[in-house]
Amino acid sequence: MKAVDRRGEEFVLAYVDTLLDLQLPDEKEKRKLSEDEIVSLCSEFLNAGTDTTSTALQWIMANVVKYPQIQDKLFEEIKGVVKETEEDVKEEVLHKLPYLKAVILEGLRRHPPGHFVLPHAVTQDVVLNGHVVPKNGTINFMVAEMGWDPEVWEDPMAFKPERFLGGGDCGGEEEGFDLTGSREIKMMPFGAGRRICPGSGLAVLHLEYFVANLVWKFEWRAVEGDDVDLSEKQEFTVVMKNPLQAHLSPRLK
Ligand code: HEM
């Protein structure tokens, strides 16, 4: 846990350092950022980083509870690389858990916390599929719809982590699935291009780390008579309309 915390802390400090060095681009206004501006950027940064990650975590755990065979497979995979007496799944072993990575990617595809990115503007008139987008026009991207496109994804509304293991929709890409969209865009839960989420690496690390440890330490079961409901509700992010309820039993003796 400490190692992951430290990575988060280093990341935030590096971001604040960047802000302190930042010069506003307007020649007339060239100056360092004020204290208020830094506070507001830090607050934006913390908001952008916490609600998104915790929402994604809840959606992923909801599917882990709804589909016990996915949870069993995850547990078996972790058991293959972590000693039974070991209390934590350490950050260093996460790269040996491809099924865990597939579960996280499937969670971000099926339940992206943001169904849109932040508003963008075009810098010149653009014609897209016969439609003119005028200079300075605001545009956005339907992130969720991209991940649910039946022309790209087979049985898109099903939660099937296997599709990221090669041979499926993602066809065994050797370098792993391209979440940044630099090779091609099949889904973009973090956006794409110059304004892509700067916290995506940290977010995926957190999700892998938390899901691995939650499954390693506890057996998660649905509350009797309560089928996990995957209905959505729009808040700051798209959250579970009926938040996840589960019975947890410690696995470690
Ligand atoms: C699962 C977790 C997360 C998701 C799904 C997510 C998603 C996104 C998306 C879609 C954008 C907008 C990209 C665009 O407009 O093209 C964004 C921007 C941003 N995210 Fe994340 N994010 C997550 C976690 C984080 C974390 C952990 C941090 C920081 C620690 C963070 C910091 C930011 C910041 C500062 C921006 C604004 C970037 C800019 O405007 O240039 N995000 N994020």
Phi and psi angles of residue 87, each rounded to the nearest 5 degrees, phi first? -80, -40
pLDDT band at 240 (very low <50, low <70, confident <90, very high): very high
What ipTM was predicted for this assembly? 0.99
Is residue 82 classed as helix, strand or coil in its secondary structure? coil
195 lines ligand 1 (CB under 6 A): yes
- 3-state helix/strand/coil string of 105-152: HHHHHHCCCCCECCCEECCCCEEECCEEECCCCEECCEHHHHHCCCCC
Over the stretch 161-171, which tens digit does the pLDDT of each residue have?
Answer: 999 997 556 65
Name the β-bridge partners of 128. Answer: 131
Which residue, judged by its Cα, is nearest atom 3 of ligand 1?
52
Q: Dihedral sign for Cα 45, 48, 49, 51, please.
A: positive
pTM: 0.89
End-to-end CA gap in the chain: 20
At 138, which amino acid appears? T
Do the beta carbons of residue 238 and residue 94 sit within 8 Å?
Answer: no
191 lines ligand 1 (CB under 6 A): yes
Task: State residue 253's pLDDT score.
Answer: 64
- Structural element, H or E, at residue 216: helix 200-217
User: Which structure tokens are listed for 147?
Assistant: 């991940």
Task: State residue 85's pLDDT score.
Answer: 87
Task: For residues 32 and 192, give the distance between their C-alpha atoms in angstroms, rounded to a whole number.
Answer: 28
Q: If you measure from the C-alpha of residue 113 to the centroid of ligand 1, how many angstroms do you get, rounded to a whole number?
A: 10
114 lines ligand 1 (CB under 6 A): yes
H-assigned helices in 22-133: 35-66, 68-79, 98-110
At 27, which amino acid appears? E
Residue 24 has pLDDT above 70, yes or no: no
pLDDT band at 107 (very low <50, low <70, confident <90, very high): very high
- Structural element, H or E, at residue 16: helix 2-21
Residue 136 has pLDDT above 80, yes or no: yes
Q: Which of 197, 204, 206 to mutate to test the pocket of ligand 1 (most atoms within 8 A of CB)?
A: 197
In ligand 1, the atom with minimum distance to the C-alpha of 141 is 16
In ligand 1, the atom with minimum distance to the C-alpha of 207 is 1
Which residue, judged by its Cα, is nearest atom 12 of ligand 1?
117
Task: For residues 168 and 44, give the distance between their C-alpha atoms in angstroms, rounded to a whole number.
Answer: 37
Q: If you measure from the C-alpha of residue 225 to the centroid of ligand 1, how many angstroms do you get, rounded to a whole number?
A: 37
pLDDT band at 93 (very low <50, low <70, confident <90, very high): very high
Q: If you measure from the C-alpha of residue 178 to the centroid of ligand 1, how many angstroms do you get, rounded to a whole number?
A: 17
Mean pLDDT of the chain: 89
Is residue 184 classed as helix, strand or coil in its secondary structure? coil
Q: If you measure from the C-alpha of residue 85 to the centroid of ligand 1, how many angstroms do you get, rounded to a whole number?
A: 37
Phi and psi angles of residue 108, each rounded to the nearest 5 degrees, phi first? -70, -30
56 lines ligand 1 (CB under 6 A): yes
pLDDT band at 156 (very low <50, low <70, confident <90, very high): very high
